[in-house]
Chain A
Amino acid sequence: MSNEQRKAELEVKRAKLEEIRQKKLQQEKLRTAPTTPMTPNLSSMPINLLTTPREDADPDRILQEVGIRQPVSLPASSPSISPGSTTSQQKRRPPTNMALQICQQTTATISVPPKELVTYSKEVQTIESGDKDPAASPIQHDHLQWDDEFQPSASGEHNRLVYVTDDEDTMSLDDNTKPSMGMSLASATELKRTRSLKHQNKQLSLQGQSSMIKQELTNDEREHILKSEQFQDFFSRSSRLIERSLWESPRAFDIFKDYSGRDLDGQNEKMDVGEIIKFDREFFDERWTRHRIVTCIDTSTYHPELVLASYSQNDESTHESDGVVLIWNTKYKSKPTPEYVFNCQSWVTSCVFSKFHPNIVLGGTYSGQIVVWDTRTNKRTPVQRTALSASSHTHPVYCLQVIGTQNANNLISISNEGKMCSWNIEMMTQPQESMDLAYRTKPVAATRMVFPGVEVNNFIIGSEEGQAYSGSRHGNKAGIQDSYEGHFGPITGLSCHNVNGSVDFSSLFLTSSFDWSVKLWSLKENKPLNSFEVNSDYVTDVRWSPVHPSVFLTCDITGRFDIWNLNHDSELPLLSTTLDGNVALNKCLWSHNGQQIILGDDQGKLRLYDVNEFLTNPKQDDFNKLSSTLQEFKRNTLDAFDDNHSTNVPTTTTNVPTTSTTSSTSVSHNS
Chain B
Amino acid sequence: MTQAEVDDTLKRIHEHKGVQGYIIINNDGIPIRTTLDAAVTQQYAALIRSLTDKARSAIREIDPTNELVFFRMRTRKHEILIAPDKEYTLIVLQATDVQ
Chain A positions near chain B (C-beta within 8 angstroms): 124, 137-139, 142, 163, 168, 173-174, 176, 179-181, 215-217, 222, 225-227, 230-232, 234-239, 241-243, 245-247, 249-250, 253, 256, 287, 337
How many residues in B have their beta carbons less than 8 Å from beta carbons of A? 53
**Would you call B57 an interface residue if the criterion is a C-beta within 8 Å of the partner chain's C-beta atoms?**
yes
Taking CB atoms, residues of chain A closer than 8 Å to B69 are 241
For B92, the closest partner residue in chain A by CB is A242
B83 touches A242 (CB 8 A): yes
Additional A-B contacts beyond A238-B88, A250-B99 (17; CB < 8 A): A137-B46, A138-B43, A180-B54, A215-B42, A216-B30, A222-B33, A225-B32, A226-B3, A227-B3, A232-B2, A235-B1, A235-B90, A239-B90, A241-B70, A243-B12, A256-B96, A337-B12
* Minimum-distance CB pairs A-B, first 5: A238-B83, A138-B46, A238-B90, A234-B85, A176-B64
Q: List 16 A-B contacts (CB under 8 A).
A: A137-B42, A142-B46, A173-B64, A176-B61, A222-B32, A230-B88, A234-B85, A234-B87, A235-B88, A238-B88, A242-B83, A246-B19, A246-B92, A250-B98, A250-B99, A256-B74
Contact A168-B53, Cβ < 8 Å, known A235-B9, A246-B81: no
Taking CB atoms, residues of chain B closer than 8 Å to A250 are 98-99
A163–B46 Cα distance when bound, in Å, is 12
B70 touches A245 (CB 8 A): yes
**Would you call B6 an interface residue if the criterion is a C-beta within 8 Å of the partner chain's C-beta atoms?**
yes
Taking CB atoms, residues of chain A closer than 8 Å to B1 are 232, 235-236
Contact A237-B13, Cβ < 8 Å, known A139-B30, A168-B27, A176-B64: no
Contact A168-B6, Cβ < 8 Å, known A124-B54, A216-B30, A242-B92: no
B29 touches A139 (CB 8 A): yes
Taking CB atoms, residues of chain B closer than 8 Å to A249 are 18, 79, 94
Taking CB atoms, residues of chain B closer than 8 Å to A227 are 3
Contact A239-B30, Cβ < 8 Å, known A168-B86, A174-B64, A245-B72: no
A234 touches B88 (CB 8 A): yes
A253 touches B99 (CB 8 A): yes
A179 touches B3 (CB 8 A): no
Chain B positions near chain A (C-beta within 8 angstroms): 1-3, 6, 8-10, 12-13, 16, 18-19, 24, 26-33, 42-43, 45-47, 50, 53-54, 57, 60-61, 64-65, 67, 69-70, 72, 74, 79, 81, 83, 85-90, 92, 94, 96, 98-99
A168 touches B42 (CB 8 A): no
Indicate which residue in A173, A234, A245 contacts B67 across the interface (CB closer than 8 Å): A173
B29 touches A225 (CB 8 A): no
A242 touches B30 (CB 8 A): no
Contact A230-B81, Cβ < 8 Å, known A124-B54, A181-B57: no
Taking CB atoms, residues of chain B closer than 8 Å to A239 are 9-10, 13, 83, 90
A5–B67 Cα distance when bound, in Å, is 29
Taking CB atoms, residues of chain B closer than 8 Å to A236 are 1
Q: From residue B57, how far is it (CB to closest CB) to chain A in Å?
A: 5
Taking CB atoms, residues of chain A closer than 8 Å to B16 are 246-247
Taking CB atoms, residues of chain A closer than 8 Å to B89 are 238
Taking CB atoms, residues of chain B closer than 8 Å to A176 are 60-61, 64
A232 touches B88 (CB 8 A): no
Q: From residue B24, how far is it (CB to closest CB) to chain A in Å?
A: 8
Indicate which residue in B13, B18, B30, B61 contacts A179 across the interface (CB closer than 8 Å): B61
